[in-house]
Amino acid sequence: MHDLRDVSGSILDQVANLTNKFEEQASALVNTTRIMEATNNRLEGTAEERRAMLASNDRGNCPSAPKQSKAC
């Protein structure tokens, strides 16, 4: 009977450890996702700023041309 308790206790300890590892990994994934979303938002903002800057430069170099025209 003592051996069964030892085995059961050992199994429960292992399950608890495994559960803790899953929780740690889930937390790490959540943090990574947040970081990736923030980075993506910054990149989108930077891309939009550059598009706007390029568009204003195109219009500035060729003021009489329509917005989407490539030639002056």
Mean pLDDT calculated for residue range 11-20: 98
What is residue 66's predicted lDDT score, i.e. its pLDDT?
54
- In the chain, the amino acid numbered 49 is E
What is residue 67's predicted lDDT score, i.e. its pLDDT?
55
Mean pLDDT calculated for residue range 6-22: 97
What is residue 69's predicted lDDT score, i.e. its pLDDT?
52
- Banded model confidence at residue 62, pLDDT cuts 50, 70, 90: low
Average pLDDT, the chain: 87
What is residue 31's predicted lDDT score, i.e. its pLDDT?
98
Judge residue 48's burial from the number of C-beta atoms within 10 Å of its C-beta, 0-12 exposed, 13-18 middle, 19 or more buried.
Answer: exposed
What tokens were used for 19? 């559960």
Token look-up 């970081």 returns: 35
